[in-house]
């Protein structure tokens, strides 16, 4: 476990446990986009959690406040590759913060922590995707140094 400090408060960063899954799902559904694509039943999330947790290249993060409430999450994946001279990439996905901590510096501190996590494991580039409708998130990512250098495409399977 690590500690973040933001806005004069301390937060704990830890690996998620199965008991955290309902709180993570609540964060995933706490906006118009997530509310439309997530489901009410926990079974698929618990199955996915077990797969994520069993994979050593995955780190499902929770951020806890002083009252031990989950106020943030992100999924980190280390992706080895041949491109960029065999570079390992840190893929950042499913970033969510509770409304109560948005704008407090928790996101900036969490990303600094995630970037260091990746560096310690040999990652030389961090990458993420975000829905084009998430204008606030895009502004935040640009503010902390991410560049819209590629165009991402998706295909539902």
Fold topology of 2-143: Aminopeptidase (3.40.630)
Q: What confidence score (pLDDT) does residue 32 get? A: 74
pLDDT tens by residue, 50-91: 999 999 999 999 999 999 999 999 999 999 999 999 999 999
Domain locations along the chain: 2-143
Output helix, strand, coil percentages for the chain, rounded to the nearest 5. Answer: 40, 30, 30
Which stretches does DSSP call E strand in the chain?
Answer: 2-6, 9-15, 58-64, 70-80, 88-97, 123-128
CA–CA gap between residue 106 and residue 13 (Å, rounded): 11
CA atoms within 13 A on the CB side of 144: 19
Q: How many residues does the chain have?
A: 157
Residue 40 pLDDT level (bands cut at 50, 70, 90) = confident
Q: What confidence score (pLDDT) does residue 36 get? A: 72
In angstroms and rounded to an integer, the radius of gyration of the C-alpha atoms of the chain is 15
pLDDT tens by residue, 131-140: 888 899 999 9
Question: pTM for the whole thing?
Answer: 0.93
Residue 122 CB coordination number (10 Å): 12
Residue 154 pLDDT level (bands cut at 50, 70, 90) = confident
For residues 122 and 132, which has the higher predicted lDDT (pLDDT)?
122
């Amino acid at each position: 476990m690590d500690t973040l400090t933001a806005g004069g408060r301390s937060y704990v960063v830890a690996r998620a446990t199965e008991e955290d899954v309902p709180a993570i799902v609540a964060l995933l559904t706490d906006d118009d986009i997530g509310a439309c694509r997530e489901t009410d039943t926990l079974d698929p999330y618990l199955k996915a959690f077990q797969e994520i947790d069993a994979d050593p290249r995955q780190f499902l993060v929770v951020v806890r406040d002083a009252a031990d409430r989950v106020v943030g999450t992100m999924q980190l994946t280390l992706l080895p590759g041949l491109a960029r001279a065999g570079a390992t990439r840190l893929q950042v996905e499913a970033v969510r913060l509770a409304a109560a901590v948005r704008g407090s510096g928790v996101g900036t501190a969490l990303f600094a922590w995630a970037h260091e996590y990746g560096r310690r494991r040999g990652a030389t580039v961090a990458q993420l995707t975000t829905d084009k409708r998430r204008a606030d998130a895009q502004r935040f990512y640009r503010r902390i140094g991410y560049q819209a250098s590629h165009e991402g495409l998706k295909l539902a399977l």
